[in-house]
Amino acid sequence: MAAFTIKDVTVKERILLHLARFSNVLPGQIYNVPFDLTQDGIAMVVGITRAHASIDLKKLGETGLVMNWLAHQKGARSKRLVYSITKEGMTRAEESKDRLIQEGIDIDVLLDMRRCDPETKWNSLTDADREVFGRVCVLRVPVPRETFPPTPSGVLPTDVAGMTSIPRETALKYLEKVSMDTVRGWNSWAADYWLDKNDVQERLYHLVEAGRTAEAGKYARSHEHELVSNPNEDLLRSLGIINQENPGNDTILWMRSRVAYACKSLDALKACLKDLHKLGSPMAELTQAQIDILKEDYWNAASVADGVYQQTRHPAAAMLLAKAQLCMGDIDGAEKTVIDTIDAMERIGDVTYLDDVLRARAEIAYSRGDKQSAVALLGKAKAAAPDYKKHDLQFLADAISKPGTAVSFI
C-alpha cells in the first residue's frame, strides 16, 4: 500500500484544519474578525483560488461543519462574509489532525509556509514545486501569484492582493537548502522576468546574482542615467561586483563613483578612485573631488574640479566645483560657475544635470537672502529631478518657506 502523503489531504480537510486554529472567534462575532476567516484569507492559506474556496465552503456549510455570517474584518470599512468552524467541524478537524500526526505529517506544512520549519517544508515539496518556491524566494519584489503554476505539495503564501508573500528572512533559509548553481539559475529566470516588466534595477540585481556579470555590465551602461538616478546601497554593491569580475570599464566605475557619492560612502569612492587611476581615466579627478567634499576639504575639491572643468567643460565637474565654492562661502564664484554650466549644457544639449544646476541656483539665491527665488528654483529643480531627489528638494523648499528657519543645503 502506498504511503500516505500531503497530496492525499483534501482541500476540505485543509479548510477545517485552518478554521480550527481560530476557535476563539465566536459565531456571530461582528467586529475585528481576522482576514484569515474570509474567503480570500482561507484561499490564500489553503493555496486555492477564491472561487474554489467558495465552492468548498458552501459544501462544508451544507454538511454542518462550517457556518458563515457578515462581519467587520480588521482594517476594512464594510462587512464581509466570514467563516467559523462548528462543533461538528471541530470534531472532524481533530480526527484529521490525529490521523495526520500518526502519518508523520506536520499540520503547519499543510497550511502556511511562514509558520513551519523551512527544512521540513522544503523536504515535503515535489521537485516541480521546489522550482516554483525557489523562483519566488530569489525575488525581492512581490509578483502576481498567477505568474506561477499551482503547487500541489505546498501552499505558496500570497497577500490579500494575490501577490507572492514570502518574508525575506524565510526565503533566505530556503535558498540555503540548494546549491549555488541552482540559486543562480533561479536568479537568471528572475532577470529575464524583469526584462519583460521593464524594471531596470531588479533586472540588474538578478543578472549579477545569476553570475551574468558581462551582460550586467552592458545592461548597466545602456541604462546608465536611469540607474544612477536612483542611487542606493544595493546598486552600489551590484556595480562593485560587475567591476570586480569585469575590470577595465571606466563607465561602470564612474557610475559607481556617482552612486557612492550620493550614498556618502567614502570607502566605495576610494576603491573607485584606485581603479580609475589604474585605467588612467579623467574621471579619477572628479572622484577625488567627491571624496574631498565628503571630507569637507572644500578648497582641494574646488581646485581639482576646476582643473577638470577647464579641460573638459563637463557638467559634473562644474557641479562639484560650484558645491565646493558654496561650501566655502564663495557665492559669486559659484554663480559664475553655474552660469557657465548652463551655457555648456545648452551647447551640447545635455540636460542630465539640470536639477543640480537649478538646486545650486536656489542655494545661491538663498545665500543672498532671496528666499522667494530660492523656493521657485527648488520647485523647478523638483520638476526636473528623478524621484529619489524630489523629497529632499521639497523639504528644502518647505523649510525656507517657514519664518525664522535657518536652512542648510549641504
pLDDT, one tens digit for every residue, the chain (410 residues): 455 555 567 888 889 988 988 877 777 787 778 888 888 888 777 766 677 788 889 999 999 999 998 887 666 667 788 899 999 999 999 998 888 888 777 676 566 655 555 666 777 788 998 999 999 999 998 899 889 998 877 677 776 577 887 777 778 888 988 899 999 999 999 999 999 898 999 999 999 999 999 999 999 999 998 888 788 899 999 999 999 999 888 999 999 999 999 889 999 999 999 999 999 998 999 999 999 999 999 999 999 999 999 988 888 898 899 999 989 999 999 999 988 888 777 777 777 778 888 988 998 999 899 999 999 999 999 998 877 678 888 888 888 988 877 777 76
Cα separation, 184 vs 134, whole angstroms: 10
Q: What is the pTM of this model?
A: 0.70
> 407 lies in a domain?
yes
Q: Is 351 left (phi over 0), alpha (psi -120 to 50) or beta?
A: alpha
Residues 32, 101, single domain; the answer is: yes
Coil, strand or helix: which one is 33?
A: strand
User: Rg for the chain (alpha carbons), in Å?
Assistant: 29
Residues 5, 78, single domain; the answer is: yes
> 167 lies in a domain?
yes
- Asked if 357 and 334 touch (Cβ cutoff 8 Å), the reply is no
Residues 32, 74, single domain; the answer is: yes
> 17 lies in a domain?
yes
Residues 51, 122, single domain; the answer is: no
> 9 lies in a domain?
yes
**Total structural domains within the chain:** 3
Cα separation, 406 vs 237, whole angstroms: 36
> 61 lies in a domain?
yes
Residues 94, 138, single domain; the answer is: no
> 267 lies in a domain?
no
Cβ atoms within 10 Å, residue 137: 23
Coil, strand or helix: which one is 317?
A: helix
Coil, strand or helix: which one is 164?
A: strand
> 20 lies in a domain?
yes
Cβ atoms within 10 Å, residue 188: 18
Tell me which of 56, 91, 111 is where a domain ends.
Answer: 111
Residues 83, 132, single domain; the answer is: no
Max Cα–Cα distance, the chain, nearest Å:
90
Cα separation, 349 vs 208, whole angstroms: 33
Phi, psi of 155 (to 5 degrees): -80, 125
What are 32's three cell numbers?
475585528
Helix (H) or strand (E) holding 228: helix 224-228
- Give Cα 233 distance to the centre of its chain: 12
- Asked if 235 and 204 touch (Cβ cutoff 8 Å), the reply is yes
Q: What is the pLDDT of residues 138-174, one digit of tens each?
A: 999 889 988 999 887 767 777 657 788 777 777 888 8
Residues 105, 5, single domain; the answer is: yes
- Asked if 99 and 89 touch (Cβ cutoff 8 Å), the reply is no
Grid cell 505539495 is found at 153
**Burial tier of 410 (Cβ tally within 10 Å: 0-12, 13-18, 19+):** exposed
Residues 104, 33, single domain; the answer is: yes
Phi, psi of 383 (to 5 degrees): -65, -30
The range of the structural domain enclosing residue 138 comes to 112-149+156-178
Tell me which of 55, 81, 111 is where a domain ends.
Answer: 111
What are 51's three cell numbers?
472561487
Cα separation, 160 vs 40, whole angstroms: 7
Residues 50, 126, single domain; the answer is: no
Q: Please tell me what DSSP assigns to residue 395.
A: H
Residues 75, 128, single domain; the answer is: no
Q: What is the pLDDT of residues 316-364, one digit of tens each?
A: 898 899 999 989 999 999 999 988 888 777 777 777 778 888 988 998 9
> 290 lies in a domain?
no
Helix (H) or strand (E) holding 67: strand 66-72
Residues 53, 142, single domain; the answer is: no
Residues 62, 72, single domain; the answer is: yes
